[in-house]
Amino acid sequence: MAAQLFSKTSFSSKYQKGMIPASNKIVQLILSYVKKKTNTQALEMAVDIGCGTGRYTIPLAPHFKKVLGIDISESQINVAKQYNSADNVSYMVAPAEKLPLKEASVDLVTAGLTAHWFTFDKFANEAVRVMKTKGFLALHSFHPTFHIEYKDLSHDLNVAMSEVWDILFRHEDKNINKHMFDQYEEIFEAIPLKDKEWILNIPVTCQMSVLDILGFFRSCYMFEAFVEKDALKAEEFFKKTQEKFLKIMREEADSAVLNFHMKYYCVLACKD
């Protein structure tokens, strides 16, 4: 099962190093939604489910008295603890479908880049159970299509990137990627709350080097699944990909900063 890849210590390290940085735009969207509905009410507790290495956990720290990151992968939690820079953030190993939290104890339940991995009906029931009245749910991810922009090399870079995804998608979990491609439509419909919003096509741009983009490829579960099936072939593929990108960039390969464009989507809900 693809989810088991996240239990590997080696993959957790690749994920922390290479995954796209947390989007401040998305974090602010969630916080704005919460603050608009709470009328400056004090926020006690946020829980980040499927927190991985804590990329979307830490940005919540300044806005809540306590933040808890929960993930089923002990190796991901171990990495999150290593990089924890906030005194009010803690981490715990537990499944999304059975949260070790009291009923009506949480102001915000959030999941970034992970809700598509959950058994969603069970998770949704648990999320609603632990949310306070006027508590919030925020789920977000990005559409698995990307665009690189850099001077007059954009076309060649995007052709090369498309070739990478053509190979990686041969190793996809179709059920997981279906949710990402439909921008959480089924997930939105399955949330058992009346007060909810579904926000699509949120443009986000990261500035990345060529090595950053190559690291992102490595941090994707599909590449790790490729490694599991045939490590030598996967490494040869990565080597050729690196050579292709460096050839396109020529003498600018080490110093160039490229615009890496994505589209996020976000599901927001409030418990009456």
Residue 1 reports pLDDT greater than 60: no
**Cβ density class 224-252: b for 16+ within 10 Å, e for less:** bbbbeeeeeebeebbeebeebbeebbeee
The whole-number average pLDDT for the span 131-144 is: 96
The pLDDT assigned to 187 comes to 97
Between 67 and 36, the higher pLDDT residue: 67
Let me know the angle formed at the C-alpha of 102 by 97 and 106, rounded to the nearest 5 degrees: 85
94: its two tokens: 């537990």
Residue 33 reports pLDDT greater than 60: yes
Q: How far is CA 143 from CA 75, 88, 101, 219, in A?
A: 26, 31, 31, 16
Tally the C-alpha atoms within 13 A of residue 113's C-alpha that lie toward its C-beta. Answer: 21
Residue 42 reports pLDDT greater than 80: no
Pairing of strands 106-112, 131-142: parallel
User: Which of 35-49, 144-158, 239-253 has the weakest average pLDDT?
Assistant: 35-49
pLDDT in tens, 206-264: 999 999 999 999 999 999 999 999 999 999 999 999 999 999 999 999 999 999 999 99
The pLDDT assigned to 162 comes to 97
The pLDDT assigned to 38 comes to 86
- Written as one string, the DSSP assignment of 32-85 is HHHHHHHTT----EEEEET-TTTTTTGGGGGGSSEEEEEES-HHHHHHHHHT--
Domain 2-270 has CATH 3.40.50.150: yes
User: Which of 14-28, 39-53, 82-96, 139-153 has the weakest average pLDDT?
Assistant: 39-53
For the chain, domain boundaries: 2-270
% of the chain at pLDDT higher than 90: 93
Whole-number Å distance between alpha carbons of 33 and 28:
8
Whole-number Å distance between alpha carbons of 8 and 235:
18
